[in-house]
Amino acid sequence: MGTVQINLSQTQETLGYLRREIHARRTALRNDTTPAALEKELATWEKMIQELQTESILEKNTRMRLLYEVSQELNTSLDWEETIQTVIDAVIQLTGAERGMLVLKEDDELQTKIIRNATGEPFSEEDLNFSKSIVQRALAEKRPVLTSNAQIDPRFQGSESVFAFGLRSILCAPLIYRNTELGVIYVENRAQTGLFSPDDLAVLATFTNRAAVALANARTHQATNRALTRRVEELTLLQEMVRDLNGRLNFNRVMERSITWAIKATQAANGTLGLPSPEGIQWLSPSTQITPADTETAQKVLRRRQPDFSPERIILPLMRENRPLGVFYLVAGEEPFTAKELELVTRLADNAAIAVENARLYEALLQSNQAKSEFVSLVSHELRTPMTSIHGYSEMLQKGMAGELTAQQQQFVEAIHRNANRMRILVKDLLDISRIESGHLKIQPVATELSAALEAAYQTVEEMLTSKKQNLNVELDENLPALLADPDRLTQVLINLLSNAAKYTPTGGKITVQARFEPDKPSFVHCAVTDTGYGINQVDQRKLFTKFFRSENPAIRQVTGTGLGLAITKNLVELHGGEIWVQSAEDMGTTFFFTMPADCRR
């Protein structure tokens, strides 16, 4: 814009000069009127007219060029502020006005947007005096208004502002886009009269048409931008809330957090959450002032599943699949609530409801798990005593302690003994699992030699190994330190892994136990139990260590088992602070690795 400079007062000067000349010639002609003198005068006049024409063409060209350049710039910018500044600066330059402003209609009110003077500087608010009656006339008539001296213009005789501010040259053109008046461009010169010419009117009209389009575009762009920014902010907030709420599974905590988020999102002064209860509504935080009338409204909100909205307060139902879970009660802060806050908090409530419901389900699950664990523990205890006596008596019978048995009796007693043993293991495992889940299983770590625990475990699995003709290799590092472990539980871990290795490896297979100690990682001892058995495929490996998991592999299914051993083993290892993992492939054997803390005190 700064590159285009024209001197629009040229024509004015020429006109002044002409007027003075006409006056001088008229006086001269009265005294001396010879044809030669007349001819000379006429030639001078013609020359002057020619000059004036050239000048006005030049000026028109310059105006057109400037107009073109400004229009080009208008079309390239979508920045609202930049666009209106460009518009005003251009108009000031085009008309040679002292200053100009853009007055826009917003919510049916006239708002002064940008005020600039001829040097491109914005000027102060106090200095902002313009004639409202001229602006209104331009808007009403939908065409530019021009006055060369407002002080004596009969159209503005009643206008206080015109007199109060000493307004003289004023040019005001409406900005109309698609039949809607966006506002006006208003330029003025307070000191000079007759500054603007009808030519300026035409230029300004052409210009304002373009400016109106540019402004409308910038305005749409700004509105879209604003809406987009708001949406992004909203989404970010929702995302943060969802992350925050989903990370919690405590019902009360989720409730408290969700109301905190609702307060934050709506910039409410305070708020609380109400839960439906047989006595009515139970409010979560008593600090918010809630009247009995509010409680009644909240009940209505819950019944109707519709929010109750006022600029001072929002009561909103928290719905999940058409079931009301509670109500948000929000009190407006300094800013009253609008439809925007209602919309936002509704969306927020939808998301919060999911987290609230999840927390509720989780708590119900915990409670039912607790009940289940208690039941399992009770039943296992009750079963243990009869199982022990069945096991013991059948063993005595088997050994002939109650007299010689026939071959068939021997066969029956063996079956009783075998099955009683299976049930004993199941009951023991169930008891362990229920203790682990209820957090009642405690370990007592002491310095324990791995070899001792291994010896104890071997006693239990020896029979199985022998019957399956399986070889057990033990490879322990010589410098192996003692472990810091509960000896019985360590033995249990080894029994589980060794008996699995034996169970899931065909007759004649090989089982190896290894333990290594790495002095650069002195806190733990690494143990591994390897077999040459059926192996575990990738899909099954993902499900290992979960309760009741047993492979679908028929070779494995034909061996009896509870599917609890590995879940217990993993828990026992982790209770010691160790880790357990597996390496296996189908038909390629399996290795279970686990770590156990070394007794560093020695």
Using CB under 6 A as the binding rule, whether residue 274 contacts ligand ADP is answered as no
| Partners of residue 147 on adjacent β-strands | 170
Q: How far is the CB of 385 from ligand ADP (least distance, A)?
A: 23
Length of the chain: 602
Among 330, 482, 513, 536, binds ligand ADP (CB under 6 A): 536
3-state SS of 189-218 is ECCCCCCCCHHHHHHHHHHHHHHHHHHHHH
What is the rounded distance in angstroms from the CA atom of residue 7 to the CA atom of residue 442?
97
Could you say which residues in the range 549-588 bind ligand ADP, by CB under 6 A?
549-551, 556, 561-567
Q: How far is the CB of 501 from ligand ADP (least distance, A)?
A: 5
Strands across the sheet containing 471-476: 471-476, 510-517, 524-531, 590-597, 580-584
Q: Say what angle helices 565-575 and 407-437 make with each other, to 10 degrees.
A: 40
Report H helices in 468-537: 487-503
Give ∠ CA 361-363-367 in degrees, rounded to 5. 115
Among 436, 531, 571, 598, binds ligand ADP (CB under 6 A): 531
What is the rounded distance in angstroms from the CA atom of residue 261 to the CA atom of residue 349?
10
Among residues 492 and 496, whose Cβ is nearest to ligand ADP? 496
Among residues 159 and 551, whose Cβ is nearest to ligand ADP? 551
Using CB under 6 A as the binding rule, whether residue 316 contacts ligand ADP is answered as no
3-state SS of 233-272 is HHHHHHHHHHHHHHCCCCHHHHHHHHHHHHHHHHCEEEEE
Could you say which residues in the range 483-512 bind ligand ADP, by CB under 6 A?
496, 500-501, 504
| Partners of residue 170 on adjacent β-strands | 147, 188
Beta strands 471-476 and 510-517 are parallel
Neighbours of 493 (CB within 10 A): 28
Q: How far is the CB of 587 from ligand ADP (least distance, A)?
A: 10
- Which residues does 102 contact at the CB level (< 8 Å), separation at least 6? 84, 87, 88, 112, 113, 114, 183, 184, 185, 186
Q: Quick one: which segment of 80-88, 362-370, 385-393, 532-540 binds ligand ADP (CB under 6 A)? A: 532-540
Q: How far is the CB of 507 from ligand ADP (least distance, A)?
A: 15
Q: How far is the CB of 245 from ligand ADP (least distance, A)?
A: 35
Using CB under 6 A as the binding rule, whether residue 281 contacts ligand ADP is answered as no
Among residues 76 and 560, whose Cβ is nearest to ligand ADP? 560
Q: How far is the CB of 389 from ligand ADP (least distance, A)?
A: 24
Among residues 294 and 531, whose Cβ is nearest to ligand ADP? 531
Q: Quick one: which segment of 87-95, 273-281, 485-493, 548-556 binds ligand ADP (CB under 6 A)? A: 548-556
Among residues 208 and 500, whose Cβ is nearest to ligand ADP? 500
Give ∠ CA 200-206-212 in degrees, rounded to 5. 120
Q: How far is the CB of 498 from ligand ADP (least distance, A)?
A: 9
Among residues 165 and 549, whose Cβ is nearest to ligand ADP? 549
Q: Quick one: which segment of 66-74, 326-334, 396-404, 543-551 binds ligand ADP (CB under 6 A)? A: 543-551
Q: How far is the CB of 426 from ligand ADP (least distance, A)?
A: 9
Q: How many residues bind ligand ADP (CB under 6 A)?
A: 21
Give ∠ CA 502-506-510 in degrees, rounded to 5. 60
Q: In angstroms, what CA-CA distances link 319 with 212, 279, 330, 353?
A: 47, 20, 16, 6
In the complex, which residues of this chain contact ligand ADP (CB under 6 A)? 496, 500-501, 504, 531, 533-534, 536, 544, 549-551, 556, 561-567, 590
